[in-house]
Amino acid sequence: MSDPVRWGILGAGQIAKKFAAALKQLADARLVAVGSQSPERAESFGQEFDAPKRYASYAELANDPQIDVVYVATRHPGHNRNALLALGAGKAVLCEKPFALNASQAREVIEFARGKKLFLMEAMWTRFFPLMVKLREMLREKVIGEARMLIADFGFRAEFDPASRLFNPADGGGALLDVGVYPVSLASMIFGAPAKITSLARLGQTGVDEESAVLLQHAGGELAMLGCALRTNMPQEAVILGRSGQIRIHSPWWRPHSMTLTIDQDQKRAERKKRLRFNLPFARPISLSIIARVGSENTLELPYEGNGYGYEAAEVMRCLRAGKVESSVMPLDESLSIMQTLDAIRAPWGLRYPGDSRE
């Protein structure tokens, strides 16, 4: 495929606009069509982002033969249904996070895509930023030794509005599915699937989680301490703690641009103890270069281009051109496992969505 990849956007809401703006910056991408339940929204979206075709139904968009890949940008409960529609029409699909409302719906879409040998990927955009590429490389190289713990959150303050999708159970509202999925996905990227899951939440007036704390223990005993909120601002930092150092991804870590690598002071302390124990005049002096190396702090700036949504789109196009049906950066088994974790996190809260009954 050497021609531009032809995109269709399904749903003309907030995130769809950001994604369409990002596509414009990619030379090998072309936005061909948008589909909205509202003809007016389809028309104005098409005008704003130069999409020549504007459909007033998702089915028409899915069946357009001039589209290679459909970006599903509807609210959480629509992801499963809309992804199935596009896959059913033979299209590759990039589906917004959370990948589905629950694991059962995620599994259905994955099995369908695999059965049809069609590309499918969760739009967990954070994974594709330059900083995340570098982070994975640093973890592979054990720059901080073996990674043992993660502290990460995604919490922000929204004014209470029962009409907003964030607070509406029918829209899969609550912090967990909207923003909690980010730290859960980060823990999964670093440590794999959790073996044990513990969580506490405060549910608000509409019955959805407004603040929560999550503890995950992974197969090798690694711990992830995660938090999310939609009524409370949180630091929005992520810290990965290793045996010999730590990496702090600065706020907002989920749209990352810089991180600080700190190598532990242990070696420095050990040298100091040695000096004390042997009484300074007889101890071998610590060389300045050692002091500079241990206990060092380095901040890496890794800026991103545009609004940051172009990286996930580029990954989709790279996969399509390579004939792949899955991304190795955001594999489908992992998207399923993340949905299973989200299900297990909210189960003890008694939080069920109307859409869960479709299981």
Name the site residues for ligand NAP (rule: CB under 6 A): 11-15, 36-38, 41, 73-76, 78, 96-97, 123, 125, 165, 178
CB of 353 to ligand NAP, least distance (A): 13
Sorted by sequence, the CB contacts under 8 Å of residue 68 that are 6+ apart come out as 1, 5, 6, 7, 91, 92, 320
The answer to whether the beta carbons of residues 140 and 214 sit under 8 Å apart is no
- What's CA 81's distance to the chain center, in Å? 21
Q: Burial level of 80, CB count in 10 A (0-12/13-18/19+)?
A: buried
Residue among 230 and 241 whose Cβ is closer to ligand NAP: 230
Residue among 119 and 129 whose Cβ is closer to ligand NAP: 129
CB of 43 to ligand NAP, least distance (A): 11
CB of 272 to ligand NAP, least distance (A): 46
Residue among 78 and 194 whose Cβ is closer to ligand NAP: 78
The pairing of beta strand 258-263 with beta strand 245-249: antiparallel
CA neighbor of 269 nearest in space, from 244, 297, 240: 244
CA neighbor of 37 nearest in space, from 17, 19, 54: 54
Residue among 128 and 264 whose Cβ is closer to ligand NAP: 128
CB of 181 to ligand NAP, least distance (A): 8
CB of 17 to ligand NAP, least distance (A): 8
The token pair that represents 336 in the structure block = 């399923």
Residue among 40 and 333 whose Cβ is closer to ligand NAP: 40
Give dist(CA 275, CA 112) in Å, integer: 66
Which residue number has the CB closest to ligand NAP?
A: 13
